[in-house]
Amino acid sequence: MKKSEKVQFVVEKLEELYPELPIFLTHTNPFTLLVAVLLSAQSTDKGVNKATPALFEVADSAHKMAKLTEAEIKHYIRTIGLTNAKAKNIYLLSRQLIERHQGEVPQSFEALEALAGVGHKTASVVMSQAFGVPAFPVDTHIQRLMHRWTLSNGKNVVQTEKDAKRLFPEEKWNKLHLQIIFFGREYCPARAHNAAECPICSEIGRKDLFIK
């Protein structure tokens, strides 16, 4: 199967499986999305969604969050991993948003990535999901699946993102990257993966994934 045919198969199969996207991180505005994405690093969406409602009830904006202390923020997110670093970054980025952007989340990759604790992946999620700017955030699921589907060499997330943007239509990036994540969780896990039964790997996956 040609690479272009693989791409078309992936797009069609994912649209068949996920015509409507489930909510991945609970949020009400760009600021709460930014905080939720930052908290999701090395944590599960489920865990983040359990912790954030109480936090966002008292602080759903940069101005409100900056009025809390790091200790208070830490209390709200205590069930999430890397609590100390995340609480510090949430407090700092809230102050930075007030000082640099009048408390609003900026709509540029450069400005977002200049905030405390915000890397390229987090910025990409915010740009795509909050502002509708085409982006293709690459997480461990996308990295794994792009390699399994022989659409990228899988050496690093930078290369995988470039390959994804080159192969998939730009107008599909924002929905497609989430579809791939949901597919990875449901059908194509890192361990105990049966390629022969996977709806996509069974058709276009690497041959060495199959048990001989």
In the predicted model, what is the mean pLDDT of residues 179-196? 90
Q: In the 3-class helix/strand/coil scheme, how is the chain assigned residue by residue?
A: CCHHHHHHHHHHHHHHHCCCCCCCCCCCCHHHHHHHHHHCCCCCHHHHHHHHHHHHHHCCCHHHHHCCCHHHHHHHCCCCCCHHHHHHHHHHHHHHHHHHHCCCCCCCHHHHHCCCCCCHHHHHHHHHHHHCCCCCCCCHHHHHHHHHCCCCCCCCHHHHHHHHHHHCCHHHHHHHHHHHHHHHHHCCCCCCCCHHHCCCHHHHCCHHHCCC
In the predicted model, what is the mean pLDDT of residues 68-80? 95
Task: Tell me if residue 121 is catalytic.
Answer: yes
Share of the chain above pLDDT 90, in %: 82
Task: Tell me if residue 163 is catalytic.
Answer: no
Which listed residue (139, 162, 165, 172) is catalytic?
A: 139
Domains of the chain in start order, with CATH, are 3-21+136-209 (1.10.1670.10), 30-131 (1.10.340.30)
Which listed residue (6, 74, 86, 121) is catalytic?
A: 121
**pLDDT tens-digit profile of 89-109?**
999 999 999 999 999 999 999
Q: What is the pTM of this model?
A: 0.88
